[in-house]
Amino acid sequence: MFQTTIAKLLPKLPESFVWRFSKKYIAGKDQESLLSKAKIENEKGANITVDILGEEIQNIEEAAYFFDQYMELIPKLADKNIDVNISIKPSMFGLKLDKERCYQYYEQILSHISQHESGFVRIDMEDSSYTSIEIELYEHFLQKYPKNVGLVIQAYLYRSHKDILQLMEKYPEYHLNFRLCKGIYVETPEHAYQDKQEVRESYLRILKSMLKGGCYVGIATHDSWLVDMILQWIKENNIPTKSYEFQCLCGVKENLKLSIIKKNIKNRVYIPYGKNWFAYSTRRLKENPKMVNDIIKSFFSCK
C-alpha cells in the first residue's frame, strides 16, 4: 500500500526532486553523460552495455528517433575505446506496431555494429506478451549475426527453461549468447513463479543448462545468495571463465560488482541514459511498486 502510494505520487513531484534518486541509476540525459559514465566504469575494471531509455512507443514514427540515437552513438563508443555493446527493447522499435520496420532497424544496427570488434546487440526481454515474438526476433538475426546478437531470458517465467532447451537443440552450430535475469515485469501466477526461492531455483536450473550446453551467459543478478551459489557451482564444475560474465544495473550494489571484478571475473554494467529518464523512472515504479523499497534505501544514501 505504502509502496503503491509512493509510486503513484512520484510522477507528480518536480523532476529535479525525482532526479535526486534517479541519477544513481541513470547516466544522464545525453550522450556526453553516457560516455563519461562509461569511462568511469571502464576505469573500475567493468565492461558496459548501453540502454537508451524508451519503450512501448505508441506511434511507429517515434522509433526513428531511437534508431538515429543508437546509430549516432555506436561510432562514438568505438572512438573512445568503450565497448560497442548495446541493449535494445524491441517495443522501442515498435515490434508490435510494425514488425517489418522493427526488423529493418535491428538489421541496420547489426550490420553497422558487427564491423566493430566488440560489436554486440542484446535484445532486452519485456513482459510475457512479448516473449514469443522476441525469441523469434533473436532467431531471425542469430542466423546472420551469430557473434553479434544475444537474447535475455527471464527465470521467473515457467516457459523459460523449455525455451532455451529448444533453442539449443535447434541451433547446435551456434554459440548461443544469453543474459539470464529474474524478470522485472509484474506477471501473474499463470505465467510466472511468484515465490522468491522458486525464482532462484529456476534461475539456477536454467543457468546450469545454459553453461553445460556451451552457451555464453551474462549472469545478471544482484542477489548475493544466488551469486554465491553460482560461483560455487562454477568452481565445482570447472566452467571456463570465457563462458560467462556477471552483469549488474548501474548504481546497484556497487560492492558486489567490485568483489566480482576482484576475483578476475568479467563484469558488465547496464547503463541507461536518455531524455526519457523521467517517464522511464516513474512508469517503472507504477508497474512494479516493490522497487520503491530499493529506491528509498538508495535515496537516503544519496551524496
Ligand X SMILES: Cc1cc2nc3c(=O)[nH]c(=O)nc-3n(C[C@H](O)[C@H](O)[C@H](O)COP(=O)(O)OP(=O)(O)OC[C@H]3O[C@@H](n4cnc5c(N)ncnc54)[C@H](O)[C@@H]3O)c2cc1C
Question: Is position 211 an interface residue for ligand X (rule: CB under 6 A)?
Answer: no
Give whole-number Cα distances, 86 to 224, 230, 273, in Å.
26, 25, 12
Cα three-residue angle 213-218-220, rounded to 5 degrees: 125
What span, in angstroms and rounded, lies between the C-alpha atoms of 129 and 71? 28
What span, in angstroms and rounded, lies between the C-alpha atoms of 123 and 85? 11
Element (DSSP H or E) covering residue 247: strand 244-249
Question: Is position 252 an interface residue for ligand X (rule: CB under 6 A)?
Answer: yes
What span, in angstroms and rounded, lies between the C-alpha atoms of 210 and 248? 19
Minimum distance from residue 179 beta carbon to ligand X (Å) = 6
Dihedral of CA 123/114/95/283: which sign? positive
Residue carrying C-alpha cell 559514465: 37
Q: Residues 24, 269: contact at Cβ < 8 Å?
A: no
Cα-Cα-Cα-Cα torsion 71, 76, 78, 80, nearest 10 degrees, comes to -170
Question: Is position 125 an interface residue for ligand X (rule: CB under 6 A)?
Answer: yes
Question: Is position 206 an interface residue for ligand X (rule: CB under 6 A)?
Answer: no
Minimum distance from residue 49 beta carbon to ligand X (Å) = 7
Single residue of 247, 267, 276, 282 touching ligand X by CB under 6 A: 247
Residues 260 to 279 in contact with ligand X, rule: CB under 6 A: 270
Question: Is position 114 an interface residue for ligand X (rule: CB under 6 A)?
Answer: no
Q: Residues 105, 74: contact at Cβ < 8 Å?
A: no
Minimum distance from residue 253 beta carbon to ligand X (Å) = 5
Three-state secondary-structure class, residue 138: helix
Minimum distance from residue 91 beta carbon to ligand X (Å) = 11
Minimum distance from residue 235 beta carbon to ligand X (Å) = 20
Single residue of 90, 148, 182, 260 touching ligand X by CB under 6 A: 182
- Sequence-distant (≥ 6) Cβ neighbours of residue 201 within 8 angstroms: none
Q: Spell out, one character per residue from 141 to 180, where the chain touches ligand X: x when CB under 6 A holds, - when not.
A: -----------x-x------------------------x-
Single residue of 94, 119, 183, 274 touching ligand X by CB under 6 A: 183
Q: Spell out, one character per residue from 222 to 241, where the chain touches ligand X: x when CB under 6 A holds, - when not.
A: xx------------------
Q: Residues 45, 267: contact at Cβ < 8 Å?
A: yes
Question: Is position 248 an interface residue for ligand X (rule: CB under 6 A)?
Answer: yes
Single residue of 42, 104, 209, 298 touching ligand X by CB under 6 A: 298
Active site positions, annotated: 124, 179
Minimum distance from residue 42 beta carbon to ligand X (Å) = 16
The full DSSP string for 276-288 is THHHHHHHHHHH-
Question: Is position 185 an interface residue for ligand X (rule: CB under 6 A)?
Answer: yes
Contact range with ligand X by CB under 6 A, out of 2-10, 107-115, 205-213, 217-225: 217-225
Which positions lie near ligand X, rule CB under 6 A?
Answer: 124-125, 152, 154, 179, 181-185, 220-223, 247-249, 252-253, 270, 291, 294, 298
